[in-house]
Amino acid sequence: MAAQDDAPFLRIEGVSKSFGTFEAVKNVSLTVGKGEIFSLLGGSGCGKTTLLRMLAGFETPTKGRIFLDGHDMAAVPPWERPVHMMFQSYAIFPHMTVEANVGYGLKHEVGLSKADRAARVAAMLDLVQLSPFAKRKPHQISGGQRQRVALARALARQPKLLLLDEPLAALDKKLREHTQFELMSIQERTGVTFIVVTHDQEEAMTLSDRIAVMDKGEVRQVGTPTEVYESPSSRFVAGFIGSVNSFEATVVGREASHLRLDVPALGGEVLTRDMPGLVAGQNVSLAVRPEKLRITKDRPEGPNCLAGHVKDLAYFGKDSLYRIALPGALVQAHAVNARRGDEGARIADWDDAVWVSFDPSSAIVLVD
């Protein structure tokens, strides 16, 4: 759905930000298309919030430039930017009603009549389904409703860019899932470009068209949710998004369309998908996601079969997590509990001897 023009809508060019000697953002370059939901994902202190605040104008880049719709934003103060933000704390004005909060930004809109303003506020309240609460004060509404007030308020001035700082972090788990889809549908209806800062990888995966994974002020990978999950570019990204079993490995050579690796921890050689640019003898990492590992009682056909025994297992309902001791490593494997049954129906039990196998195409080879 992201209709990408030729010239990117938002272009961040080599932006850095230092606070004293601490470099919060290091030489970040990104482009975001019009109408995209773009996430900045990373742990605390990775620089994602600083980057967002530079887009809003609260911080000035130490180096680099930011272009929005072709205009250089450097000298534009926050109050003149067509960029609005939904704050992590929601930052609802406590002394104003819901209605006044949503209408606050409109009072700066020159040439907007009182009636137009009221109509715009009403439309916004309708959009976030808060019309019955228009006259309430912020302390008289719930957390989820406050989140929607913040969203309506930021959207009321029809920004070119909406910045969302941890939009769902303050909500409880049930509400979060519901709100996620609501955010996406509102984005679809308004067509505003969203930039979402989050530390929650699941949130980033479901919400975004594209994700930028950040660490220590740097962007480590930019891609669609599938790209960053299935083809992470580095050990950091692989480990940050989802869980992963990772092992040191050495390239042995190529055969057919596969790559042969020597993995000491797995007690031998394995086959993986080929990756260009690798030479024999090179040190790499092998990463396999827990759900890509198959557990069987009998040795299956095909390559990459490893013998071990069940060290631990945890039952989660829809799936189970096995920890399997191989000769040189402990690996985690997820198995879906597709069949309904009592405890005897599970694949394997504590201390059972099992085979762990994986498809060459589902293994990830990481250089970085």
Partner 1 sequence: MSRGRFARWFDMRGWTLLLIGAPYVWLVILFLLPFLIVVAMSVATNTPTAPPFSYGGDHPWINLEPFSRVLTDGLYLRAFLTSIMNAFVAMVLCLLIGYPMALGLTRVSKSWRTILLMLVILPFWTSFLLRVYAWMGLMGKNSWFNGLLTDFWNFLVPLDWAIRSVPMMHTNFAVVLVMVYTYLPFMILPLYASLERLDPTLDEAAMDLGSRPYQVFLDVTLPQSIPGIIAGGMLVFIPAAGELVIPSLVGNASQPMIGKIIQDEFGQARDWPMASAVAVALLVLMVVPTMIYSRYQAKAEGAK
Partner 2 sequence: MKRSPVFLVSILCFGFAFLYIPILSMIVYSFNASRLATVWGGFSTKWYVSLMSNEAVIKALVLSVQIAVVSATIATILGTMAGITLARFTKFRGRTLFSGLVTAPLIMPEVITGISMLIFFILMADWIGWPGQRGFTTITLAHITFCMIFVTTVVSARMVQTDRAIEEAAMDLGSRPWQVMFDITLPVISPAIISGWLLAFTISLDDVVISSFVTGPGSTTLPLLVWSKVRLGVTPDINALATLMIVTVGIGVAAAGIILHRSEKRRLAEERLAFRNND
Residues that bind partner 1 (CB under 8 A): 77, 79, 110
For partner 2, the closer of residues 174 and 340 by Cβ is 174
3-state secondary structure at position 221: strand
Please tell me whether residue 17 binds partner 2 under the rule CB under 8 A. Answer: no
Please tell me whether residue 105 binds partner 2 under the rule CB under 8 A. Answer: yes
Cα–Cα separations (whole angstroms), residue 308 to 82, 264, 294, 348: 59, 15, 12, 12
Minimum distance of partner 1 from residue 109's CB (angstroms): 11
For partner 1, the closer of residues 77 and 341 by Cβ is 77
Please tell me whether residue 312 binds partner 2 under the rule CB under 8 A. Answer: no
Q: Which of 60, 89, 185, 361 binds partner 2 (CB under 8 A)?
A: 89
Rg (CA), the chain: 25
Among 260, 287, 289, CA closest to 273 = 260
Partner that binds at residue 110, options partner 1, partner 2, none, CB closer than 5 to 8 Å by kind: partner 1
Please tell me whether residue 185 binds partner 2 under the rule CB under 8 A. Answer: no
Q: Which of 143, 267, 281, 300 binds partner 2 (CB under 8 A)?
A: 143
Alpha-carbon gap, residue 69 to 91, rounded angstroms: 27
Residues ≥6 apart with Cβ < 8 Å to 224: 209, 210, 211
Among the residues of the chain, which ranges form H helices? 48-56, 98-103, 114-127, 143-156, 173-190, 201-207, 225-230, 235-240
Minimum distance of partner 1 from residue 74's CB (angstroms): 13
Alpha-carbon gap, residue 223 to 227, rounded angstroms: 6
Q: Which of 18, 26, 76, 87 binds partner 2 (CB under 8 A)?
A: 87
Minimum distance of partner 1 from residue 108's CB (angstroms): 10
Please tell me whether residue 140 binds partner 2 under the rule CB under 8 A. Answer: yes
Among 237, 239, 169, 232, CA closest to 203 = 169
The four Cα atoms 216, 64, 6, 211 give a dihedral, to 10 degrees, of 10
For partner 1, the closer of residues 79 and 316 by Cβ is 79
Is residue 354 within 8 Å of residue 297, measured between CB atoms?
A: yes
3-state secondary structure at position 158: coil
For partner 1, the closer of residues 76 and 321 by Cβ is 76
Is residue 27 within 8 Å of residue 15, measured between CB atoms?
A: yes
Q: Please name the amino acid found at residue 32.
A: V
Is residue 281 within 8 Å of residue 251, measured between CB atoms?
A: yes
Partner that binds at residue 175, options partner 1, partner 2, none, CB closer than 5 to 8 Å by kind: partner 2
Please tell me whether residue 145 binds partner 2 under the rule CB under 8 A. Answer: yes
For partner 2, the closer of residues 95 and 114 by Cβ is 95
Binding pattern for the stretch 155-184 against partner 2, x by CB under 8 A and - elsewhere: --x-----------------x---------
Residues ≥6 apart with Cβ < 8 Å to 58: 78
Which range in 114-122, 139-147, 292-300, 356-364 contacts partner 2 by CB under 8 A?
139-147
Which range in 84-92, 111-119, 284-292, 324-332 contacts partner 2 by CB under 8 A?
84-92
Long-range CB contact pairs, 225-231, < 8 A, 24+ = 229/205, 230/364, 231/364
Minimum distance of partner 2 from residue 13's CB (angstroms): 23
Binding pattern for the stretch 24-63 against partner 2, x by CB under 8 A and - elsewhere: --------------------------------xxx-----
For partner 2, the closer of residues 17 and 235 by Cβ is 17
Q: Site residues (CB under 8 A) for partner 2? A: 56-58, 78-81, 83-85, 87-89, 91-95, 104-105, 108-109, 139-145, 153-154, 157, 175
